Amino acid sequence: MNLLGDTETNDTISEKSDEEVLALSVSRPHVFEVILDRYQEALLRKAESILRSREDAEDIVQETFAKIYLNAYKFKIQEGASFKSWAYKILVNTAFTRYQKMKRERGVRLPLDPEIYETLRDTESRQFEKQEVSEYIISVLSRIPDHLSRVLYLHIIEGRPQEEVARMEDISVGAVKTRVHRAKKAFKKENAALI
C-alpha cells in the first residue's frame, strides 16, 4: 500500500529538493516527514550549540519544525534564499527568544554565538562558521554609525552590562538603551540590504 496516498512513492518524494518537499507538504502533511528526517539532527546540533542544553534544544527544534510547517505556504523560492537558510533563520530566532526567556526567568546567561543576536544569511550549503559570522557581523557593524556600532558591539557581542557600557562611553544608561535599540534597527536594516 502506498502511504503517501497517491501515485508518488516514498522514494520519489525523497529525491525531491527541500523546497519541493515543503511545497508538497502544504497539501499533503505526511510528506513533511521527509523534512524532519533531513534536518532533525542538524537543527538539534545547532540549537544545542546555542542554548547549551539538550532538553531546551529539543524543545526549540520541535517548535522550529512547527513554525516551518505552519508557515510553509509563505516560503517562496528566491535567488540565494534556500529552504535551509530559511529553516536556520527560524531556528536561530526561536532559540534567541527562548534564551531571552531563560535569562529573565532563571537568571541564565550563557555565552552565545554572535549569530543568534540577528538573523544572518546562510552561505549555500555551509552551516554558519564562527569566523565567517564574525567577519560578517564586523562588515555589517562597519556600515552603521560608529556611536551605534560601538554600543551594540560592547553590549551584545561582548556581553557587557549597560552600566559598564555607559561608563566606557561616558553616557547615561538611558542613552545606552536608546543607542542599543537604534543600533539593532540599523543592524537589521543593513543585514537585510546585504542578503
What is 22-90 written as a DSSP string?
HHHHHH-GGGHHHHHHHHHHHHHHHHHHHHS-HHHHHHHHHHHHHHHHHTGGG---BTTB-HHHHHHHH
Question: Chain-wide mean pLDDT for the chain?
Answer: 77
Q: Which fold has domain 129-195?
A: Arc Repressor Mutant, subunit A (1.10.10)
Residue limits of CATH 1.10.10.10 in the chain:
129-195
Cell numbers for 39: 534536518
Cell numbers for 13: 518524494
User: pLDDT at position 40, please?
Assistant: 95
User: pLDDT at position 4, please?
Assistant: 45
User: pLDDT at position 128, please?
Assistant: 41
- CB 120 within 8 Å of CB 136: yes
Residues 6+ apart with CB under 8 A from 134: 114
Residue limits of CATH 1.10.1740.10 in the chain:
14-114
Is the domain 14-114 a CATH 3.30.70.20 member? no
Question: How far is Cα 141 from Cα 119, in angstroms, rounded to an integer?
Answer: 14
User: pLDDT at position 3, please?
Assistant: 44
Question: How far is Cα 116 from Cα 99, in angstroms, rounded to an integer?
Answer: 9
Question: How far is Cα 43 from Cα 48, in angstroms, rounded to an integer?
Answer: 8
User: pLDDT at position 20, please?
Assistant: 92
Reference 188, options 100, 138, 95, 117; nearest CA is 117
Tens of pLDDT, residue by residue over 111-148, are: 554 544 444 444 333 444 444 455 566 666 777 887 88
Give the best-scoring range by mean pLDDT among 56-65, 94-103, 133-142, 146-155: 56-65
Mean pLDDT of 27-53: 90
With cut-offs at 50, 70 and 90, classify the pLDDT of residue 52: confident
More confident residue, 114 or 33: 33
